[in-house]
Structure 1
């Protein structure tokens, strides 16, 4: 009798160990699992909103995979989530992806998401009428060294004006884009480097003036304003899933370009859900004019952007992004 009991216990233990041993690798089509995808509540991230709303991610990955979504106010929090495994993939600005890559983060850019959308506006009563008036003024971006920050400071450096961080006169602060309107109305900041639709919100709701347009700011028309990223470990262990996510991303971008009005409705609803702010159709129409949607990504432009980040002292060492981009899933 004792031999029978020992045999049963042994078989049970072996079965448990075998089950535990499969958790770190790729998952078969019959296994149930949950993945989380991240994005920001702004127009540069509409591909994620559309893929979510239209069920495109779900269609591509299959019924055995449950998809959850998480939104982020800035690239730093997104990249922390990617590093800790809180999310498996998602859309983020290229700046945070590059910055984290240089410090050893396991991140890979899979595709572009959008272009443009960085608007620099001055508060109505700030006294700012031109670029030259920005000396000594306070400007706000979502985060130090974020994509919009690098674009703006690169542009200003070319005009001989820099921030206090590099010995200049402009004062820099940071905050969530959805809060910029309140900061303008309180007079706490003079200039906002805002991702759309928040740039259009400031223009329409506060009378803010555009100082640097999206097609004028550095890298405004050439660098992806958002990129689809994952980890190298995910590519290694679950290549099929990553291919499915990229295919959904590409299909979402096609949907946006072919169904503009429907995509705008999805954007309004998603931003309201995640920020509590219901943007008008007029704001979305204005913002839409400042942005494009494409999954293309140029390694040369990414490297040029990184070089500028280094020159502005956002990066401590000259970056090499030759292994940051993995386009095998869109080619």
Structure 2
């Protein structure tokens, strides 16, 4: 009888120790990741993934998923490079420029294509791009995706360049959400505008379309957003990268199959992040200029960065070999 009691105690203690060990192991496996994106319509896949909690579905149980919203590509890329975020959506311009500068990053998918519109202030006296000599234009940042698209078009098709290189057009920078008010007050003449802010300008009546998306340089072929992560994460935690990309693919497919619900999510998230509520008509109009896809073509990116070099945004011509990694989307 004593032997039986002792044996029972040993079993109970062993079970408790096993349970404690299991709990500790599970606790050590729980992780925290942060995904970044911008509050604009080209980044709807990020908004859908957040609202639908898709990363929580594809990552291991217990993973805490956080989100960080960025005002510009430079801040986003710095966050990726320092490990502040695991990855997310950014314009292709900042991704390529940072890669060219030596950043160890990978583009593992796209988010959308299109959505850049050249808008002119109503009373600026601009009827065509040829009228831009001596006029001012605004872009989000010097050398950003929309800036390169606009300046490439103007140089190649109209022979006009910005004052950055001694040209005829005055260049200023600012947040796209402010463009409508800047048009209204006459502070700038033309904007290279990402959606949905082009449609906001149209709806508010402060400007008109000068060049629509298909005619802008790389307007329908260049990814308007790419999904970026660090080379370190790709090399050392490929399963995590695959889980993240799987959620991004699900979000993109949700947008393709459920456009009305995706539009509602976009309206909600943009209001939550920017405190600016966009009308359904603005979103409907902007949606027509965008294709949501996670496929990415490295040759288009190479052509684009060649244009960036030609405009003087880069000191040396760059080879983007190794930037795009398709193994996670195929």
TM over 0.5: yes
Corresponding position of 2:259: 260
Per-residue deviation, 1:32 = 1.5
Whether the 8 Å contact between 2:183 and 2:206 is mirrored in structure 1 is no
Aligned to 2:225, what secondary structure does the other structure show? strand
Per-residue deviation, 1:186 = 1.8
Q: Structure 2: where are the runs of 5+ without partners?
A: 1-24
C-alpha change, 1:28 and 1:243, in structure 2 (3 Å) is farther
**Count of matched residue pairs:** 305
Per-residue deviation, 1:167 = 2.0
Aligned counterparts of 2:69 and 2:124: Cα–Cα separation in 1: 32
Whether the 8 Å contact between 2:184 and 2:206 is mirrored in structure 1 is no
Q: Does 1:97 align with 2:95?
A: yes
Instruction: From 112, 116, 121, give the equivalent of 1:123.
Output: 121
Per-residue deviation, 1:188 = 1.0
Whether the 8 Å contact between 1:112 and 1:227 is mirrored in structure 2 is yes
Q: Give CA deviations for 1:279-327 in whole Å, capped at 9, x if unaligned.
A: 0000000000000101111111010001000000011110100111111
Per-residue deviation, 1:214 = 0.7
Q: Give CA deviations for 1:53-83 in whole Å, capped at 9, x if unaligned.
A: 1111111113321111111111111111112
Select between 255-264 and 82-91 the one with higher mean Cα deviation.
82-91
Flag as ranges the 4+ runs of structure 1 deviating above 3 A: 27-30
1:157-306 correspondence to structure 2 within 5 Å? 157-158=155-156, 159-306=158-305
Whether the 8 Å contact between 1:30 and 1:64 is mirrored in structure 2 is no
Alignment RMSD, CA only? 1.3
- TM-score w.r.t. length of structure 1: 0.90
Whether the 8 Å contact between 2:49 and 2:55 is mirrored in structure 1 is yes
Whether the 8 Å contact between 2:39 and 2:274 is mirrored in structure 1 is yes
Select between 173-182 and 318-327 the one with higher mean Cα deviation.
173-182
Select between 55-64 and 286-295 the one with higher mean Cα deviation.
55-64
Per-residue deviation, 1:30 = 5.8
- TM-score w.r.t. length of structure 2: 0.90
Aligned counterparts of 2:119 and 2:45: Cα–Cα separation in 1: 25
Instruction: From 70, 73, 86, give the equivalent of 1:72.
Output: 70
Whether the 8 Å contact between 2:180 and 2:206 is mirrored in structure 1 is no
Per-residue deviation, 1:135 = 1.1
Per-residue deviation, 1:182 = 2.0
Q: Structure 1: where are the runs of 5+ without partners?
A: 1-26
Per-residue deviation, 1:207 = 3.5
